[in-house]
Structure 1
Amino acid sequence: MLISDGVIGLRPIEVADAAAHLAAQGREPVRPAAGPGTPNMVAEFERCVAEWADDGPHKTFAVVDVPARALAGTLDITLEPEFLAKRQADIRYGIYAPWSGRGVDGRTVVLACRYLARQDSADEAVLRIDPADTAAIALARHLGFHYHRSSSEPKGRLDWFIQAV
């Protein structure tokens, strides 16, 4: 395990996680020959694994329920994307329904910040949240993130919350 609090752990995503990811979303694995426009989740997971191998600025983690040894979600950290300042990291996470509402979201964000601090790869973590997602905003505030600004994105407005790591 890369980093854990004993309940939840973060580790680099693996291609083998694709099947559990799709099952958690109620979807079947898609083969590469599935047809035009059909997402190939295995290829996406292979790309994420390659980004780890290249030690690039984007890292996708498996969020793992440590006692159950089960995939509970995914976490993406992008270091210094073009829309952020130097030494800021964008954090995005998705927790699967069976783990939602059980504190996994908060533990995941805390572990992401610990990872950033241990790696000395960022000074601040940024959560960009849809303003309609009141639960995510409440969680950000509970974890000590403070509102920074709002931005208009192609998919709508996002509120930015920042915390030092």
Structure 2
Amino acid sequence: MPGLDAKPVIDLDVVVPAASHVAPAIAALADAGWVHEGNLGIAGREAFEMLPGLPLHHLYLVVEGSQPHRNHVDFRDFLRSHPAEAQRYAAVKRELSPLLDTDRQSYTEGKNAIVEELLALARGASIPALRVPNRGTFANHETFSLGDGTVVLRPLTMDDAAAHLAGEDSEFSTWLSGGVSTEETVRRHMERSQVLWRDGGPIFAFAICHEGSNTPLGTLDVQLEQPGFAPGQANLAYGLYPAARGHGLATRAVDLAMEFLRRHTDATSALIRALPGNPRSATVALRAGFTLVCAAGDSPDGHAWHQREVERDGPRQVPAQVSGR
């Protein structure tokens, strides 16, 4: 597709007019050298191994007008006619690209989520979306910050790249980055973060800093659109670099993120999702006033879901046991 970043792999559909033509077509493709792999879990779409000696490709056999065929055509046509959505799709794939070598399943799940969303839009579905009410609010986002006297949240910038690379350890990369970062992946992430701030979301990437210092201690993302979330739900994802852990800074940062949601979005609640092997995240959620609403074993993604309502009638009253954050 013109102008769209992508892996150097061509998706090809062999389209037959009726289901009765599928078996003969499979046989004909086999005679030409393609090895049939079955439907690979997608009914109505027959897949074939890549034929050596040709440009990299994915070859599928579909019946004209079938759901898999319509998915391919509708998705292609929608991206061609909606360049902004095409670039959003490309940005998501760029962000997911480090997972290709470290966690292919997570890459596929992340890509499938944006594909399903765009297909729904292509077919006229109304996708509940949370947006900053005034999309021009953060045009000068470089000067924006929120603080509580100890911790400050400010937009992540390109100047934070070196500190991020130096601060990231295995815990941070496992739970937040999705893999070990490189200069290139960090640069792309910072660039995309700047674009999203200027565009008014739907993701706002913050640096977590000490009051009076511009050096990042970690990062926090406020994500206003997540596949599978109910209307009005936002997601918070955060991580601190090793030297900043154990001092209550993450809890303060989460409280500030809730204040951001209250002041600048129409979100009604926030979620923090923690994997069973990440007890720090669950502890922060509970200290920040979140309530466990779905255990990891019962959730759709294997995470424990913690939720807190966005308060509109005044500041949250901090429980006494949390006041020493």
* TM-score, normalisation: structure 1: 0.85
User: 1:126 Cα deviation (Å)?
Assistant: 0.3
Partner of 1:111: 256
Identity %: 32
Structure 2 unaligned runs (5+)? 1-143, 170-179, 311-325
Structure 1 unaligned runs (5+)? 31-38
Amino acid at match of 2:269: E
The reply to whether residue 25 of structure 1 matches residue 168 of structure 2 is yes
3-state SS of 1:135 partner: helix
In 1, the alpha carbon distance for the partners of 2:223 and 2:182 equals: 26
3-state SS of 2:303 partner: strand
Partner of 2:245: 100
In 2, the alpha carbon distance for the partners of 1:41 and 1:138 equals: 28
8 Å CA contact 1:73–1:94 kept in 2: the answer is yes
In 2, the alpha carbon distance for the partners of 1:120 and 1:68 equals: 27
In 2, the alpha carbon distance for the partners of 1:82 and 1:136 equals: 21
Write 1 or 2 for the structure with the bigger share of helix: 2
Partner of 2:228: 83
Amino acid at match of 2:261: L
Amino acid at match of 1:117: R
3-state SS of 1:121 partner: coil
8 Å CA contact 1:7–1:66 kept in 2: the answer is yes
Partner of 2:201: 56
8 Å CA contact 1:14–1:49 kept in 2: the answer is yes
Amino acid at match of 1:18: A
The reply to whether residue 73 of structure 1 matches residue 218 of structure 2 is yes
Amino acid at match of 2:164: H
Note the aligned Cα RMSD (angstroms): 1.9
The reply to whether residue 9 of structure 1 matches residue 152 of structure 2 is yes
Q: Number of residues paired by the alignment?
A: 154
Larger mean Cα displacement after TM superposition, 143-152 or 1-10: 143-152
- Which structure's relative contact order is higher, taking Cα pairs within 8 Å and 6+ residues apart? 1
* TM-score, normalisation: structure 2: 0.45
In 1, the alpha carbon distance for the partners of 2:307 and 2:181 equals: 36
Larger radius of gyration: 2
3-state SS of 1:16 partner: helix
